[in-house]
Amino acid sequence: MKTVDELLSAVLAGELGPDPAELTATSVFWIHHGTRLAGGDVTYLNQYVLVRVGGAFGGCAFEAGEIDPAICRDASGSSLATLLTEAPQALRTAALDAYLAAVAPHREAPGAEPVTLPAGPPEVRAVARDTAIAGLLDIEPGAKVALIGVVNPLVAAIRERGGDPLPCDLNLRTTQWGDPVSDDMHEVLAAADAVVATGMTLSNGTFDTILARCRERDVPLIVYAQSGSAVARAFLGAGVTALSAEPFPFSQFSAEPTALYRYRAAPRAKGGS
């Protein structure tokens, strides 16, 4: 599968597990969350829509105004197939994420490396999370790393691994240290030696473009995903080189130890004579 639509079609056809028409979205809920880390000057405002299917949750962030909280009343109790075919894109992504997480929970998935984030304040947990993400980068010193979806601790973590961040975001103009932030992902994708992208690219429809561009240029793609973490996992080895998957409840909603799961695609076989 090369696109999210192809993945969705496979799920609807029952090729990856049970028929989604026979599964119920027990709970659909909406979270509006604001964070400003100590010492920072940026307030991150995030909205998430989440879907529970049996023992699994799926989630997806979205831009302000895209979804109204009333959708929680309207969608809760719907069949998963209904959400996968009729819901707005962010809710559709959350439903797809829930389905794939129910079929193969991260905690049981082959190849998943659990990383426990320590108990503590947001600053400690954010640094631990972003250090774990940056640890998936296998780069030469000075490599240009496109960062599509900017969080300041991750900019710092990339630098600590010797990378030169190329930040790109639709909502930020500079990093905490004054680095300019591009709003043109094509610009940073063209210049990058490696790409790190947030799962929110699944929500805004840019994931397939990033995936295709990284395939074309044979550039490593690392995805860090609260949004659609099980969706991104489906593309490991098919454009996604590595993944930091953080299922709900996300790290910012707890002060206790929580887990994220790191995945690496199997190395590609080299051609012989």
pLDDT in tens, the chain (273 residues): 899 999 999 999 999 999 999 999 999 999 998 888 777 777 778 899 999 999 999 999 998 889 988 999 999 999 999 999 999 999 999 999 999 999 999 999 999 999 999 999 988 998 899 889 989 999 999 999 999 999 888 899 899 999 999 999 988 889 989 999 999 999 999 999 999 999 999 999 999 999 999 999 999 999 999 999 999 999 999 999 999 999 999 999 999 999 999 999 987 644 443
> How confident is the model at residue 268, as a pLDDT?
61
Q: DSSP for 117-141, please give it.
A: EPSS-HHHHHHHHHHHHHTT----T
pTM of the predicted structure, to 2 decimals: 0.93
Give one DSSP letter per residue of 40-72, joined into a string. ----EEEEEEEEEETTEEEEEEE-TTSS-TTHH
Give the pLDDT score at 122: 87
Give the DSSP H/E element, type plus range, for residue 224: strand 221-225
What pLDDT score does 17 carry? 97
How far apart are alpha carbons 202 and 198 in whole angstroms? 8
